[in-house]
């Protein structure tokens, strides 16, 4: 499930690199924002997965 944010992070790194080469501050900032968005998506996905795992383990204890 952690793949959800990886694409945004990769896109952000590429955009930031192009911004550095082109000396474009806006593109560098957009790249950093894309990376942050990807990390947030990844964290949300991981938290949801941990929640499902906890729910499943509680269900197993009731049996």
Q: What is the mean pLDDT of residues 21-35?
A: 97
pLDDT interval class at 63 (50, 70, 90): low
Give 6's contacts (C-beta < 8 A, 6+ positions apart): 38, 42
pLDDT tens by residue, 2-27: 576 899 999 999 999 999 999 999 99
Q: What is the mean pLDDT of residues 27-54?
A: 93
Q: Based on the number of CB atoms within 10 Å of its own CB, is 1 exposed (0-12), middle (13-18) or buried (19 or more)?
A: exposed
């Amino acid at each position: 499930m952690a793949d959800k944010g990886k694409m945004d992070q990769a896109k952000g790194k590429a955009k930031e690199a192009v911004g550095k080469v082109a000396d474009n501050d806006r593109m560098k900032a957009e790249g950093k924002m894309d990376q942050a968005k990807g990390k947030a998506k990844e964290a949300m996905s991981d938290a949801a997965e941990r929640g499902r795992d906890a729910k499943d383990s509680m269900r197993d204890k009731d049996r």
